[in-house]
Amino acid sequence: MHPTRLILLSALILFCAGPALAQRPGPEFWRKVGCEPFEPRTKLEAIDERHSSVIIKAFTQITTLEVNGVRIDAVEMRELGNVARAKGIVVVLREGEGARQDGGGRPRENRAFVDYEEIDALLQAIDAIARVDETMTRLPGFEARYKTLGDLEIGVFRQTRRGNAAMMTTGICDRTSQLLTLDELAKVKAMIQEAKTRLDELR
């Protein structure tokens, strides 16, 4: 084949193959997308995830009130020999309590960290969403929700014609949820308030 034709043919092949290659990035661009974020969202997470350090955790579980499947802990974390320190609450949700009793497996648990600086806003949000009802919209269904930086989500929605219900959720992909009554949501708020009071005593 004539050299000029060979060059033109090679250029044509490269021109046609270019778009196809551009649509398939090399192996360096591929990775399994994880459910956990690359960077911690809260101060508590930042300390909890540190490596090559001694982390001291102090906590107390709020037990004056009880809501099935919901646990609230007041927690303080610090790194030994460092000024890094954070306090807040840990909300643990457990679903599938009956699974363990029936021999069908262990209950699923998931947790969310809430920094101390977020607690007041969380308490105010619980008050606000608990007051949401059908008078706020002309449509038959509604929901109101609030999410913290650490992926604790609390929502209120129309469950039946007779009333509303609440839902608490933790996690990103492997989420854990608890369905609550509005009375139970009020108890959760009281538990969070008590946890904040315990943390205020640390000052």
CA distance 156 to 126: 9
79 sits in which H/E element: strand 70-79
Integer CA distances (angstroms), 68 to 107, 146, 181, 194, in order: 13, 21, 11, 18
Q: Which residue bears the tokens 């661009």? A: 29
The neighbour count for residue 65, using CB atoms within 10 Å, is 15
- pLDDT value of position 136: 81
CA distance 149 to 185: 20
The C-alpha atoms of residue 145 and residue 36 are separated, in whole angstroms, by: 22
Query: What would the pLDDT profile of 169-200 be if each residue is shown by its tens digit?
Result: 998 777 899 999 999 999 999 999 999 999 99
Residue type at 1 in one-letter notation: M
In three-state secondary structure terms, 67 is strand
pLDDT at position 25 is 40
- Set out the domains of the chain in order of their start, with CATH numbers: 43-200 (3.30.2450)
pLDDT at residue 118 greater than cutoff 80: yes
Cα distance between residue 51 and residue 36, in whole Å = 17
As beta bridge partners, residue 93 has 70, 110
pLDDT of residue 98: 45
- Note the pLDDT tens digit of each residue in 21-78: 444 443 333 334 456 666 788 999 999 888 888 999 999 999 999 999 999 999 999 9
β-bridge partners, 58: 76
Stated as kind and residue range, the H or E segment containing 131 is none
